Structure 1
Amino acid sequence: MRALVAGLVLVVAACSTPESGGTAPSKAPAPTGLKIEEVAGGFQHAWDIGFLPDGSMLVTERPGRVKLVRNGQVTPVDIDLTDVQVRGEGGLMGLVIHPDNQRFTICYNTVRDVRLVTFRLEGAKATKTKDLVTGMPSNPSGRHSGCRPTLAPDGTMFVATGDIAQARNPQDRTSLGGKVLRIDPETGEGAKDNPFANSANANERRIYTYGHRNVQGVVFRPGTDQIFSAEHGPDVDDEVNLLRKGANYGWDPSKGGTQSRYDEDVPMTDLQRFPDAVAAVWSSGTRTEAICQAAFWNGKLAITALKGTKLLLFTLDDAGKVQNVSIPDELNDRYGRLRAARTAQDGSLYITTSNGTDDKLLRLTGGV
């Protein structure tokens, strides 16, 4: 049934209705004056980007490599990642550089778990300093691994995780799967003012929001306290969510714990089972975009799409409601699958392709 529905083709405006109903945002004209520079190529499933103060960048590759990009030249980082398990959607994933510009934290699958590990960078060599968080659940197939860390303006670290396609994880607050975590970037413990900070369970103390399926990125709207996430739906209903501290986002393939089977026919936001769950501010509806990382660029919320092979630009009102969506022609099925999206200090937007061979690091300017 869902496969039939997913086969229907609708324009972006028609498939942008939030799950709570209401008026669909309009399809906006694409931005003009967009310039795309191919900064570097030759990557394999380039997963995330981190900026260094000298203008160079670190790029992670899912097969378990970190590359240093400086002036268009790509140098492999000397780093021990022999414990990375690369399978399916799993492997080396997200990256975030610490404020000291010397350390970075990456997220990856091992044979036992998904974990956050911090390294210190010296030149093109990285040395491990800390297992920041271990024990995040991992599917042997790599399915729904998440996992992307991002530093918040208040200095905490937000971590987007996947539910690893296990039915009970999203609603189980003792599991780190299917969550957005908020942790201390030095200790890996839950931030002291988290919603469940008084819990006896260390995992629950790390949780900021729960009831997610496979969160691909978290971003903070400049000048506000608004936090947005991008999340994969099953074969429909990819979601953009406005995160609220301690909130449930309503994904429950266990149907209230009544079954162990991973039932993907449940709603992405099950408002009947969870009346207080937070509905998405945007849903792809019957399309499968497989939206990925989110970044704010030129005042808009920019989100990459894997299956959709495009960049989506969301115009938001002051409350965070989506007003319209535009798709730049220059990135609409021109480069294939788009994954990473990070805004540089100079205001340009960097994105990566994720096609598996000769993937690109792209720099976007203009587009206003």
Structure 2
Amino acid sequence: MMIRLVALSTLIAATTLIASPGQAQNVDSSAGRLNAAILVEGLEHPWALAFLPDGRFLVTERPGRLVVIEDGAAGTPIEGVPQVEARGQGGLLDLALAPDFAETGQIYLSYAEPAEAAGLQRGTGTAVMAARLVLDGDGGRLEDQNVIFRMNRFDNSNRHFGSRIVVGQDGNLFVTLGDRGTMDRAQDAADLAGGVVRIAPDGSIPADNPRIENWAPEFWSIGHRNPQGATLRDSDGALFMVEHGARGGDELNRVEAGRNYGWPVITYGRDYSGLPIGVGQQQEGLEQPLHYWDPSISPSGLDFYQGSLIPDWDGDLLLGGLSGNVLVRLDMEGDEVVAEEALFQGQLGRIRDVRVGPDGAIYLLTDAPNGQLIRVAPEGE
């Protein structure tokens, strides 16, 4: 079953309150009253968040900085991050910790890589670096850096890089890639743009990748526009992903091996000119989304809720909206979205990342020149 939401963006447009620096926001929800408390501000377009074992936070900033956050302040930028193309939607993007991070310090970073760093003549493409994080006081450095993945076709676009990194239950990495603003690339099975790739931690290609005839061997799935949120369901290791549509047509998909998710042949959105895209909303052999949004909310960040603070939401999906300025909860029953709840409409700004913390609270990053790290929890917690 697929649910379509039309009214959410209309509600958001009617709400224009933006939180001032340091001001907590409250909202009534299906789980009671929630409080959004600003933990730190002054982050420059923060993109991704991870929780360090010692209770601190690790955050990427799109201009090319990786910082540790402790006691309401960002530390000295980590040394040794990759060279990035901080232009348009590009820059330093996602962050993931290896399952054995506490012992090895291994992390993965995705970013828009300039041609010169890749030994190419022109263009930019999505890349992934593996490195060992060594923390020292309020900062630290990356050692043993190794670029384990890069797109096989760079171009001059500054749009649609993706890109989220999800560590699978077997330790292999899923990396989401946008179509770079050229929609037909998402159906070119030899071009990694507009797909989800699956690689080993050293960048090699797992033997059990789908290996569809004519597909690049890195592919897990194809037919995606610009996926900016992805997460695993712990119960079965299934990969879920949200991606931007054009004018309408944002999607939630369960991303399965060897499947084609249709962009731009099928979509629930239209071109920004108002003209139709592709052949319509369905075609045999192409996957339907579990859920879609029209108008768009520009989803970014995605996580399953697991925690004791909000037990009624256990197993539900949480995601942010950039143009929507909203935190969204999707009430999940298996793979079915049975209800949707819009939270903090227009109150917090452009929500770029959403992560559920070890304490059961919900942590958000807002995408702004003065971006914030925000903790959402039941009032009094």
- Category of TM-score, reference length = shorter chain: 0.7 to 0.9
Aligned equivalent of 2:7, options 4, 8, 11: 11
- The superposition leaves residues 179-221 of structure 1 with CA deviations (integer Å, 9 ceiling, x where unpaired) of 1122111x21222211118x6x8x8222111100001121112
Residue 364 of structure 2 corresponds to residue 351 of structure 1: yes
Structure 1: tracts of 5 or more residues without a match: 1-8, 16-27, 256-261
Residue 76 of structure 2 corresponds to residue 80 of structure 1: no
Residue 122 of structure 2 corresponds to residue 106 of structure 1: no
TM-score (norm 1): 0.82
Residue 335 of structure 2 corresponds to residue 324 of structure 1: no
Residue 253 of structure 2 corresponds to residue 221 of structure 1: no
For residues 167 and 263 of structure 1, do their structure 2 counterparts lie closer, same or farther at Cα, with a shift above 3 Å needed?
A: farther
Helix, strand or coil at the partner of 1:76? coil
Distance 2:173 2:99 in 1: 11
Question: How many angstroms does 1:139 deviate by?
Answer: 4.3
- What is the count of residue pairs matched by the alignment? 331
Distance 1:269 1:153 in 2: 36
- The superposition leaves residues 4-44 of structure 1 with CA deviations (integer Å, 9 ceiling, x where unpaired) of xxxxx9413999xxxxxxxxxxxx96432323222211101
For residues 139 and 311 of structure 1, do their structure 2 counterparts lie closer, same or farther at Cα, with a shift above 3 Å needed?
A: farther
8 Å Cα contact 1:44-1:358 kept in structure 2: yes
For residues 173 and 10 of structure 1, do their structure 2 counterparts lie closer, same or farther at Cα, with a shift above 3 Å needed?
A: closer
Aligned equivalent of 1:296, options 290, 304, 307: 304
Residue 334 of structure 2 corresponds to residue 333 of structure 1: no
Identity value in percent: 27
For residues 137 and 32 of structure 1, do their structure 2 counterparts lie closer, same or farther at Cα, with a shift above 3 Å needed?
A: farther
Aligned ranges for residues 116-265 of structure 1 at < 5 Å?
A: 116-123=128-135, 124-185=140-201, 187-196=202-211, 204-252=216-264, 265=276
Question: How many angstroms does 1:54 deviate by?
Answer: 0.5
Distance 1:289 1:13 in 2: 7
8 Å Cα contact 2:249-2:292 kept in structure 1: yes
Distance 2:79 2:109 in 1: 12
Give the corresponding residue for 1:49.
49
Question: How many angstroms does 1:133 deviate by?
Answer: 0.5
Q: Is 171-180 or 306-315 further displaced after alignment?
A: 171-180
Question: How many angstroms does 1:267 deviate by?
Answer: 4.8
AA of the residue aligned to 2:349:
G
RMSD between aligned residues = 2.9
- The superposition leaves residues 308-334 of structure 1 with CA deviations (integer Å, 9 ceiling, x where unpaired) of 00011000112x111000012xx2111
For residues 234 and 44 of structure 1, do their structure 2 counterparts lie closer, same or farther at Cα, with a shift above 3 Å needed?
A: same
AA of the residue aligned to 2:247:
D
Distance 1:138 1:366 in 2: 45
Give the corresponding residue for 2:89.
89
For residues 57 and 138 of structure 1, do their structure 2 counterparts lie closer, same or farther at Cα, with a shift above 3 Å needed?
A: farther
Structure 2: tracts of 5 or more residues without a match: 12-27, 116-124, 268-272, 306-312
Question: How many angstroms does 1:264 deviate by?
Answer: 7.8
Helix, strand or coil at the partner of 1:169? helix
Question: How many angstroms does 1:60 deviate by?
Answer: 0.4
Residue 287 of structure 2 corresponds to residue 278 of structure 1: yes
For residues 264 and 135 of structure 1, do their structure 2 counterparts lie closer, same or farther at Cα, with a shift above 3 Å needed?
A: farther
8 Å Cα contact 1:167-1:253 kept in structure 2: no
